[in-house]
Amino acid sequence: MILITLFAACTNTEKQGAANQVERIPFVENLLAQMTLEEKVGQMAQLTLDVITIGEDETVSDEPIALDMDLVRWAVAEYGVGSILNTANNRARTREKWHTIVSQIQEVAINETRLGIPVLYGIDAIHGTTYTAGATFFPQQIGQAAAFNPELVRRAAEITAYETRASAIPWTFSPVLDMGRDPRFPRMWETFGEDVYLATVLGVEMIKGYEGEDNDVSDPFRVASCAKHYLGYSVPVSGKDRTPALIPEIELRERHLPPFQAGVAAGTHTIMVNSALVNGVPVHASYELLTSVLKEELGFTGLLLTDWWDIENLHTRDRVAASSKEAVKLAINAGIDMAMIPYNLDFCDYLIELVNEGEVPMSRIDDAVRRILNTKYKLGLFDTPVTHYSDYPLFGSEQFIEVAYQFAQESITLLKNEDGILPLSKNARVLVTGPNANSMRALNGGWSYSWQGEKVDEFAQDYSTIIDAIRDKIGTQRVTFREGVRYDNDNHYWVDEAFDIQGAVRAAANVDYIVIVLGENSYAEKPGDLHDLSLSQNQIELARALFQTGKPMILVLNQGRPRIIREIEPYMSAVINAYLPGNYGGPAVSDVIFGDYNPGGKLPFTYPMYANSLVTYDHKPSENQEQMEGVYDYESDFAVQYEFGFGLSYTTFAYSHLRLNRQQLDAGGQLEILVDVENTGSLAGHEVVQLYTSAHFTSVTPDVKRLRRFSKIHLEPGEKKTVAFTLTADDISFINAQNKRVNEAGAYDIIIRDLSSTFNFVK
């Protein structure tokens, strides 16, 4: 039975349940008591910036950017719009320009409205302050996950919060807590990968980095976070953005809900909703998911925000509402607090009519506005509506750059290194080729200075591409560059063309090694949809042609999702996955290739070998049925290119002496696990110690294994450390057939690398 069918129709008492949980702040309650219906509804509206700028229409602004103050007054003073988002013309701005824009909006909101309520401004600062020139950019979330370093995730979020506030903006639409379990999905790179535990841990760290340990977002160096996209967004049946998903409740609760549950417990102030459908119901119209589960069961008391245009989509796309007005009714009654409209204010007119007609209760309006005003109050906007860039001297500083550089290094994952070919000698002669070799755009990915990342070159001229960094490392005279294949950046920028493959082949004659940099150009959301997960045919042909030269090849993958490389992987002596490492990805890749940094990243997803075999590491046993003797040779094995958690180093690590403090665990007890790890190689290095559990038998078929803990350690050559972990009953609980989280008595294995030990859970 699926989730949508499980909940009974709500009563008026149930509708009040979530509202009664929300904190009553005296200042806010006094303000709320004074507000008219029109003022309340205005607070629930969010417009995109282009609507209130000087320009030909609401989607295109003139340059240089300037507000149309008549339009600002229409939106903020006449309609009382509570929030503005985005950047005009989809491009980054200077801190000074941001300060001017936000100040002018706030001046109208505070000085030209009856109650002087400030506007809440928000942007997608997802791997740095996306829309501010000169901001510090970190690896995208998928690369951050590969580093397996929670402390770095928190520190990067702290820096992003600082630089976002330096841009006069107090709210970021981040982190993404969707599960990256389908590599076809174009937003996979915005996730922390396929594992529930990893995504949960890193999601909490990012929230705490944005908001602070105590979630005091009035701190001028903190911002309000926005966990997204609740719920089940990232596993659509087709693999394409904003398309329907079919997810049984057992799967929703086992895989998709835990990161959001942890995010709520960590104090995230806002949450954004899934743009698509789950089990035939648009999430924006689902009272069950938005109110019964999120607000009542999980106890979320913050602001619940739509994604772009998604209330209108209930009518025009999803056809569950016969009119735009009915769409507003469905969404608000389901639990939406603020509408990312984003282009007009029909929403306000419809909602006022619906309240006056008794179709939307005033209690629902008051609950939504209370949540919005609470957020503004907690951000300190009533006291300091605009922060000033001069108060943020560390913006773009060397101190912040060091963190971004370190993060890029730690994210890089070495997947293959035949005969220890890497690191290369700095005396080597190298051909660098491939469409991603000389592209800052590809290194950063989407949401970098612009939505699709296509404006990166305008803002990132001072950073080094991979070819730049290799030249800097070993000298221009030792490096030959031939692109071979290039992207069509003018029109279909996700398409590449065979530019000069034979030129690359000729250039290989005079070098010792070939560094071939392949992958994807930048994209975000639906423009990243694809029909074929395979690496492009032109890039495959480049690799084939260069293989014929007989020169050893090092493949660097610069991509947001794992494109299929089965055909060319055997040609490669080494394979490096750089993901989307940000502005310092070029030097970081070069450091790994030439041995100035020993890689330690681990895959946060299962790297598929076949486009028709997309299976996660935590699959059920029946996904891997070995061939039976004398029977047909079925292709039923767990055939993947590289497994989740895999990643090589230039040194070696030996694991030994796995021990448990007890052989039984009960509901109130703790299991202490110790394991010794020794660096048996000649170089210092990082190792991610990963602890998995595997249940022998449970009433619901168990996953083959599940990651439960990890610890990143650094060891000098010959150094040994004892790594300690603690597990409780909660860590081995699961969702049963009745969709309840339970523990069941039985035997469980602890697995750390090639070591295992068994304990029993007893009731």
pLDDT given for residue 2 in this prediction: 31
Tens digit of pLDDT for each residue in 431-464?
999 999 999 999 999 999 999 999 998 999 999 9
Domain end marker among 596, 612, 645: 596
- Rounded-to-integer distance, Cα 260 and Cα 290, Å: 12
Higher pLDDT, 623 or 544: 544
Whether 634 is in a domain gets the answer: no
Whether 399 is in a domain gets the answer: no
Q: Does 225 lie in the same domain as 116? A: yes
- Rounded-to-integer distance, Cα 187 and Cα 525, Å: 6
Q: Does 745 lie in the same domain as 699? A: yes
Q: Does 711 lie in the same domain as 583? A: no
Flag the least confident range among 10-14, 80-84, 668-672, 743-747.
10-14
Kindly give the interhelix angle for 466-474 and 585-593, rounded to the nearest 10 degrees. 50
Residue that has been written with the tokens 């980095």 in this structure: 209
Higher pLDDT, 135 or 637: 135
- Rounded-to-integer distance, Cα 741 and Cα 751, Å: 23
Residue that has been written with the tokens 């048996």 in this structure: 680
Q: What is the mean pLDDT of residues 251-268?
A: 98
Do the beta carbons of residue 377 and residue 170 sit within 8 Å?
no
pLDDT at 136 over 80: yes
Higher pLDDT, 305 or 489: 305
- Rounded-to-integer distance, Cα 481 and Cα 429, Å: 11
Single out the residue of 744, 700, 690 nearest to residue 195, CA to CA: 690
Q: Does 421 lie in the same domain as 375? A: no
Whether 141 is in a domain gets the answer: yes
Tens digit of pLDDT for each residue in 330-383?
999 999 999 999 999 999 999 999 999 999 999 999 999 999 999 999 999 999
CATH number at residue 201: 3.20.20.300
Domain end marker among 548, 570, 596: 596
- Rounded-to-integer distance, Cα 565 and Cα 570, Å: 9
Bridge partner residues of 527 (DSSP): none
Do the beta carbons of residue 202 and residue 227 sit within 8 Å?
no
pLDDT given for residue 638 in this prediction: 83
Q: Does 359 lie in the same domain as 310? A: yes
pLDDT at 134 over 60: yes
Q: What is the mean pLDDT of residues 96-121?
A: 98
Do the beta carbons of residue 659 and residue 571 sit within 8 Å?
no
Q: Does 381 lie in the same domain as 429? A: no
Q: What is the mean pLDDT of residues 616-644?
A: 81
Catalytic site residue from 124, 307, 337, 591: 307
pLDDT given for residue 636 in this prediction: 77
> The tokens of 677 are what?
């790890």
Banded model confidence at residue 491, pLDDT cuts 50, 70, 90: low
- List, in sequence order, every beta strand (DSSP E) within 64-222: 83-85, 120-123, 171-172
pLDDT given for residue 625 in this prediction: 74
pLDDT at 631 over 70: no
Peptide bond into 423 cis (omega under 30): yes
One-letter amino acid for residue 671 of the chain: L
Whether 423 is in a domain gets the answer: yes
Tens digit of pLDDT for each residue in 386-414?
999 999 999 999 999 999 999 999 999 99
Banded model confidence at residue 19, pLDDT cuts 50, 70, 90: confident
Respond yes or no: is residue 307 known to be catalytic: yes
Residue that has been written with the tokens 């486009």 in this structure: 611
Whether 615 is in a domain gets the answer: no
- Rounded-to-integer distance, Cα 666 and Cα 762, Å: 5
Single out the residue of 599, 596, 638 nearest to residue 619, CA to CA: 638
Flag the least confident range among 309-323, 392-406, 626-640, 683-697.
626-640
Q: Does 433 lie in the same domain as 291? A: no
- Supply the DSSP symbol for 323: S
Q: Does 424 lie in the same domain as 348? A: no
pLDDT given for residue 547 in this prediction: 98
Instruction: List, in order, residues 6 or more apart from 681 with CB less than 8 Å away.
Output: 649, 650, 651, 652, 653, 717
SS3 333: helix
User: How many other C-beta atoms can be found within 10 angstroms of the C-beta atom of residue 467?
Assistant: 24
Query: What is each CA distance from 368 to 16, 18, 263, 272, in whole angstroms?
Result: 12, 11, 20, 14
pLDDT given for residue 495 in this prediction: 82
Q: Does 150 lie in the same domain as 71? A: yes
Do the beta carbons of residue 551 and residue 480 sit within 8 Å?
no
Do the beta carbons of residue 411 and residue 143 sit within 8 Å?
yes
- Rounded-to-integer distance, Cα 517 and Cα 432, Å: 8
Cα–chain-centroid distance for residue 429?
38
Do the beta carbons of residue 582 and residue 560 sit within 8 Å?
no
Whether 629 is in a domain gets the answer: no
pLDDT given for residue 637 in this prediction: 81
Give me the number of domains the chain comprises.
3
- Supply the DSSP symbol for 570: G
Domain end marker among 342, 362, 391: 391
Do the beta carbons of residue 707 and residue 645 sit within 8 Å?
yes
pLDDT at 140 over 80: yes
Instruction: List, in order, residues 6 or more apart from 327 with CB less than 8 Å away.
Output: 285, 311, 312, 313, 314, 315, 320, 321
Q: Are strands 430-433 and 479-482 parallel, antiparallel or unpaired?
A: parallel
pLDDT at 622 over 60: yes
Bridge partner residues of 715 (DSSP): 685
pLDDT given for residue 5 in this prediction: 31
Query: What is the domain range of residue 685?
Result: 653-761
Q: Does 180 lie in the same domain as 230? A: yes
SS3 498: strand
Mean pLDDT of the chain: 95
Flag the least confident range among 53-62, 109-118, 618-627, 696-705.
618-627
- Supply the DSSP symbol for 36: -
pLDDT given for residue 6 in this prediction: 32
Tens digit of pLDDT for each residue in 648-689?
999 999 999 999 999 999 999 999 999 999 999 999 999 999
pLDDT at 385 over 70: yes
Query: What is each CA distance from 338 to 46, 76, 353, in whole angstroms?
Result: 7, 15, 17
- Supply the DSSP symbol for 659: E
CATH number at residue 455: 3.40.50.1700
- Rounded-to-integer distance, Cα 226 and Cα 229, Å: 9
pLDDT given for residue 16 in this prediction: 57
- Rounded to 5 degrees, what angle do the CA atoms 208, 214, 216 make? 95
pLDDT given for residue 355 in this prediction: 98
CATH number at residue 730: 2.60.40.10
Q: Does 421 lie in the same domain as 382? A: no
Q: How many residues does the chain have?
A: 763
- Rounded-to-integer distance, Cα 482 and Cα 433, Å: 5
Whether 426 is in a domain gets the answer: yes
pLDDT given for residue 8 in this prediction: 31
Whether 406 is in a domain gets the answer: no
Q: Does 376 lie in the same domain as 446? A: no
Flag the least confident range among 8-12, 184-188, 197-201.
8-12
Computed from CA positions of residues 87, 89, 94, 100, in that sequence, does the dihedral angle turn out positive or negative? Answer: negative
